[in-house]
Amino acid sequence: MATEDTKREIGHDEFDPVGTLVLIAVYFVILVVMWIVMWRIEFIGNGPTVIG
């Protein structure tokens, strides 16, 4: 399958996965934002809470 479709060869040394870097950075931002939203809005705003 894949071998017929191959259009160009990229070796190890010249390969910088910039697309992966972009995707993973976006994921990181989503995680941090969602984490803060969950804590501030869903959890802390959801009282009463167990305090002892």
Partner 1 sequence: MDIHRFEKGWLVASLVLIVFFIATVAYVSAVTGIDMVDDSGGDIDVDNVNQHDNFSDPGVEHVGENEYDAYVIAQQFIFRPGSEPFGAIRIPANSTVNFHVTSQDVVHGFQIVGTNVNTMVVPGQISEITVEFNEADEYGILCNEYCGSGHADMGGSIEVVPRNEWNGTDGGDA
Partner 2 sequence: MAYVDRRPLEARVVRVAFGAAFLFLGLGGLGGLIQSLHRTGYFQFIGEITDGNYYTVLTSHGVFMVLFFTIFFLMGAFTWALTRSLDRDLNNPRMTKYWITSMCVGAFLTSLAIIGGFTNAIPIEANVLYTMYAPLQAHPLYYIGLTLFVTGTWVAGYDWISTYWGWRSDNPDERIPLMAFMVLTTMLMWYILTVGIAIEVLFFLIPWSLGLVNEINPTLTRTLFWYFGHAVVYFWLLPAYLLWYAVLPKLSGGRLFSDPLARVVFILFLILGTPVGIHHQYLDPGIPEGFKFVAMTNTMFLLLPSLLTAFTVVASIEHGGRQRGGKGYLGWLRTLPWKNPAFSGMALAGIMFAAGGFSGMINAGMNINYLVHNTIWVPGHFHLTVGTASALTFMAGAYWLVPQITGKNLAAKKLAAVQPFLWFVGMTFMSNAMHRAGLFGMPRRTSEPMYDAFSYDPAIGTVGEVNSQIALGGVILTVSLGIFLYVIVRTWFGGEKVESPVDAELPPAMSGPEHSPRVLDNLKLWVGVAVLLVILAYTVPIAYIATDGLWSGSETYPVVVDALDTLEVLL
- Which residues lie near partner 2 (CB under 8 A)? 1-3, 5-12, 15, 17-20, 22-24, 27, 30-31, 34-35, 38-39, 42-43, 46, 49-50
Long-range contacts: 7-12, Cβ < 8 Å, 24+?
none
What, of partner 2, partner 1, none, does residue 47 touch, CB below 5 to 8 Å by kind? Answer: partner 1
DSSP 3-21: HHH------STT---HHHH
Q: Which residues bind partner 1 (CB under 8 A)?
A: 16-17, 20-21, 24, 28, 31-32, 35, 39, 43-44, 46-52
